[in-house]
Amino acid sequence: MNLRMWVAVTVLMVVLLGGAGSGRASEAESILEKTMSETLDTWRDGRYEQLFEQLAHRGKTSRETFVKKMRETTTRPACCWQKMENFKILDEKRNEATVYVKIGLERGADAAGSTTREFKLIHQEGVWKMQLADVFSIAGATAKKGGGAKKRHKKNNSPYQNEFK
């Protein structure tokens, strides 16, 4: 084989092998993005019992407690193209992945906003799942049950204290 032929074959192999690797990354991104999108759709539709089943659970929150807290919040994921933007996988392992995404939110009748942050997805029961604590965090609910000692909080007189709650 002459030198030109060898260089051409080498370049072709690099291009083909490089393309195969990016296809797998793109496929992983597609699965993780689809999972988050479907979970946010379930939440937006108010199907909280089904949402509970779609989430990875770390803690002692019961289905009934979860549904009650989610019904009390006025925050919902936005619809359509505003629901998720700039989705990017930061790290992926066999049983967990970290993604970075901007999630559009609707808060009440006329208020809108968004949250841009990292989310950890867990691979359980053969599917990727968002974490329950992340959904509570976005919704403005808390994962902790009441009944413990109450803490006293200083009064905050800042005009911005409720701006992004």
**Three-state secondary structure string covering 1-26:** CCHHHHHHHHHHHHHHHHHHHHHHHH
pLDDT for residue 29 is more than 80: no
The angle, 0 to 180 degrees and rounded to 10, between the axes of the packed helices 132-139 and 3-44 is 60
pLDDT in tens, 64-101: 999 999 999 999 999 999 999 999 999 999 999 999 99
Q: Is the dihedral of CA 46, 49, 51, 55 positive or negative?
A: positive
What are φ and ψ of residue 43, in 5° steps?
Answer: -65, -50
Closest CA to 140 of 110, 105, 109: 105
pLDDT of residue 61: 92
pLDDT in tens, 97-154: 999 999 999 987 777 899 999 999 999 999 999 999 999 999 988 655 444 433 333 4
pLDDT for residue 22 is more than 80: no
Task: Count other Cβ atoms within 10 Å, centred on residue 65.
Answer: 14
Task: Count other Cβ atoms within 10 Å, centred on residue 42.
Answer: 19
pLDDT of residue 124: 94
pLDDT of residue 152: 39
Cβ–Cβ under 8 Å, residues 116 and 45: no
The pair of three-digit structure tokens given for residue 54, joined into one six-digit string: 């779609």
pLDDT of residue 165: 41
- Under the banding of pLDDT at 50, 70 and 90, the label for residue 27 is confident
| Domains located in the chain, CATH noted | 25-139 (3.10.450.100)
- Under the banding of pLDDT at 50, 70 and 90, the label for residue 54 is very high
- Distances from the Cα of 162 to the Cα of 52, 152, 157, angstroms: 28, 18, 11
Q: Is the pTM higher than 0.85?
A: no
